[in-house]
Amino acid sequence: MLSEIKPALIIAWREIRDQFRDWRIIFPIVILTIFFPGLMNFTARQAVEFVQRYGANLVATRFIPFLLMIVGFFPITVSLVIALESFAGETERRSIEPLLSSPLTDEQLYWGKLLASLVPPVMGSYLGIFVYLIGVYRSIGWQVEPLFLLQIVCLTTVQALVMVSGAVVVSTQTTSVRAANLLSSFIVIPMALLIQGESIVMFWGSLNTLWWIILGQIIAAGLLIRAGIAHFNREELLGRELDILNLRKSWLIFRNAFVGEARNVPEWLFKEVARSMRKLLIPIVLSTGLIGVGLWVGFDLADRLQIPAELLNLDKIQDMNAGLVTGLRGMGFISIPTAFQIWLHNLRVVALATLAGIISFGVLGLLVIMLPLAMLGFFAQTATTIGLNQWSFLAAFTLPHGLLEFPAMILTAAMIFRLGATMVTPAKEKSLSAAWLIALADWAKVFLTIIAPLFLLAAFIEVFITPQTIAFFLK
C-alpha cells in the first residue's frame, strides 16, 4: 500500500519544494497568512467597537467568526492558481513527457499533483487562522469554540479540495495555462456563490447547516476527483497540441452517435433509440427511487411544517369544487393553447434540469426533477389533515396525466443521471468531450422520440381530463 502511495508523495514533495523556490507563490501566501489576518484582526476590533456603541452586540458576535472563515478562505485561493498550472503548465513547458514515460500510474501522478496543489495553501490557511485567533484573543479577548474551529478548519479544507480537484480536472483537459485560466471561471463563479451562501449561514447563526455544506462539498470534491482520474489520458496530454474548438468534429461525433447505423427512420426508432434506452436501465431504476424519495421528502415536510387546521376547511374546498370545471373553463384553462403552454413549461423544466445536471454531475438536475414530487407529497400529506386519503388525493390530482408524465420525468432524470455519470466514468479510447457528446446524442434521441411526446400527451390530459377527476374526487 505504502509503495503505491510513495510515488504520489514523491511527486507532491518535489512540487511543493519547487513552489517554495518561486517567489510568485511564496509572496502571496505570506501576505495572506501573516499580513491579511492582522488586517482582519484590526477590522474586527474596529467593527466590534463601532457596533457596540449602538448596542448591536449580535452583529459583533457574528462578525468575528465570519472574518475567521474569510481569513481561512483567502490563502486557499492560491491553490487554484497552482492546481490550474499543475498539468497544463507541465504540458506547456514540455516537462510532462518524462513524467508520463516513467513507471507512475495515472492515479499516482494525479494524486501527487493534487496534493502538491493542496498542501501549501491549506497549511497557509491554517497558519492564517492561527494568527487571526491569537490576534482577536489578545485585542478583544474573543475565544473560539472548539467545535466551531473544527467546522472552519473542515470548511476551509474541503473548499480547497473542491477548488483544487476542479482546477486539476481543467488542467488535465487543456494544453496551456492560458486556456486553463480562462476555464477557471467554472470554478471561481460557483465558489464565489458558495462563499456568499456560507456568509449568509454564518450571519444567520445556523452553524449546524455548515456541516451539511461541508458534506456537500466533500461529495462534490469526490466527484471531481473521480472525474479527473476517469478522464486522465496520457495520450490526450501529449497528443493534443492546441486547444481548438473543433465544431465540425464535435458535430460529426454527435451526428454519428445520433443517427447510428440506421438507414431509415423506422430502423432508427427501433434500433438506435432502443439502444439508447437500453443504456438507461440502471439510471431508470435509480431515478424511480429518487422520485420516490422526493415524494417522501414532501410527506415528511408536511408533517413537520403543518398548515394550521383553520386554514384548511373541507367544506369550503367542496363548495369551491362545485364550480371548479366551469370556473376553469371560464378562465380559458381548458383549451388547446393551455395544453401547449403546459407542454412548453415542462420542456423548459427538462432543459433547465439538464443544464443544471451538466454543471453538477447530475446532482442539481435530479434535485430539479425531485422538487415537484416533494411539493406533490407535501400537498397530499397536508390533505390528510382534513380527512382526505393522501393516495386518493395523488391519484385524483396526478394520475390521469401522471400516467404519462411520471414516466417522462423518470426518463428525464435517468438521462440527466447518465450525462452526469459520463463525466465521472472512464471513457475507454475516447476523450471526455467525445464521451459526453455521445451521451448528449442519446439524450437528444430519447428526448425527441419519447420524453417530448409523452409530455405533450400528458399536457392535453392535464387540461381536459384531470380537472374532471379532481372535481369527481372532491365531490
Give yes or no for residue 316 binding other proteins (CB under 8 A): no
Q: Decide if residue 348 touches other proteins (CB under 8 A).
A: no
Please give the helix or strand (H or E) that residue 375 lies within, else none.
helix 363-383
Distance CA 29, CA 377 (A): 50
Q: Give me the least distance between CB of 3 and other proteins, in Å please.
A: 8
2, 54, 55, 103: residue in contact with other proteins (rule CB under 8 A): 103
310 near other proteins (CB under 8 A): no
User: Which listed range, 125-133, 145-153, 232-240, 414-422, lies at the site for other proteins (CB under 8 A)?
Assistant: 232-240
Minimum Å gap between C-beta 225 and other proteins is 22
Q: Which of 60, 238, 293, 457 binds other proteins (CB under 8 A)?
A: 238
Q: Any idea which residue has 468534429 for its cell?
A: 249
Mutual orientation of helices 146-172 and 57-93 as an angle, nearest 10°?
A: 30
Minimum Å distance from CB 278 to other proteins? 28
Q: Write out the DSSP string of 59-88.
A: HHHHHHHHHHHHHHHHHHHHHHHHHHHHHH
Least distance to other proteins from the beta carbon of 239, Å? 6
Interface stretch with other proteins, choices 9-17, 120-128, 378-386, 466-474 (CB under 8 A): 9-17
Rounded CA separation 152/3 (Å): 33
CA distance 150 to 171: 31
| Selection from 362, 392, 394, 360 nearest residue 377 by Cα | 394
Alpha carbons 395 and 402: distance in angstroms, whole number: 9
**Binding to other proteins, residues 396-455 (CB under 8 A):** 429
User: Contact with other proteins (CB under 8 A): which of 49, 97, 261, 267?
Assistant: 97
Q: Alpha-carbon distance 350 to 471, whole Å?
A: 29
- Binding other proteins (rule: CB under 8 A), the pick from 4, 10, 348, 389 is 10
Task: Closer to other proteins by CB, 82 or 414: give it.
Answer: 82
Total of residues contacting other proteins (CB under 8 A): 28
- Mark the segment that binds other proteins (CB under 8 A) among 16-24, 144-152, 179-187, 258-266: 16-24
**Under DSSP, is residue 1 helix (H, G, I), strand (E, B) or coil?**
coil
From 36-44, 169-177, 210-218, 230-238, give the range in contact with other proteins by CB under 8 A: 230-238
Does 235 help bind other proteins (rule: CB under 8 A)? yes
Residue (of 64, 49, 33) closest to 144 by Cα position? 64
Q: What are phi and psi of 375, to 5 degrees?
A: -65, -45
Please, what is the minimum distance in Å from the beta carbon of residue 430 to other proteins?
Answer: 12
Q: Is 247 in the site for other proteins (CB under 8 A)?
A: no
93 lies in the site for other proteins, by CB under 8 A? yes
Binding status of residue 21 toward other proteins by CB under 8 A:
yes
C-alpha–C-alpha distance, residues 384 and 392, integer Å: 10
Which one of residues 5, 51, 59, 100 is an interface residue with other proteins (CB under 8 A)? Answer: 100
- Structural element, H or E, at residue 127: helix 106-140
Q: Does 22 bind other proteins (CB under 8 A)?
A: yes
- Is 26 a binding residue for other proteins by CB under 8 A? The answer is no
How far is residue 220 from each of residues 54, 159, 191, measured CA to CA in Å? Answer: 42, 10, 12
Q: Map residues 123-162 to x or -, x wherever contact with other proteins holds by CB under 8 A.
A: ----------------------------------------
Q: Using the rule CB under 8 A, is 96 a contact of other proteins?
A: yes
**Region for residue 161 given its phi and psi (left: phi exceeds 0; alpha: psi -120 to 50; beta: otherwise):** alpha
Contact stretch for other proteins (CB under 8 A) within 6-14, 68-76, 411-419, 440-448: 6-14
Rounded to 10 degrees, the C-alpha dihedral 42/197/171/248 comes to: -140
Nearest-Å Rg of the Cα atoms of the chain is 28
Q: In angstroms, rounded to a whole number, what is the distance separating the alpha carbons of residues 236 and 226?
A: 18
d(CA 210, CA 200): 11
Nearest distance from residue 370's CB to other proteins, in Å?
40
C-alpha cell at 58: 449580535
Would you count residue 255 as binding other proteins (CB under 8 A)?
no
Q: What is the contact surface with other proteins in residues (CB under 8 A)?
A: 7, 10-11, 14, 17-18, 21-22, 90, 93-105, 234-235, 238-239, 249, 429
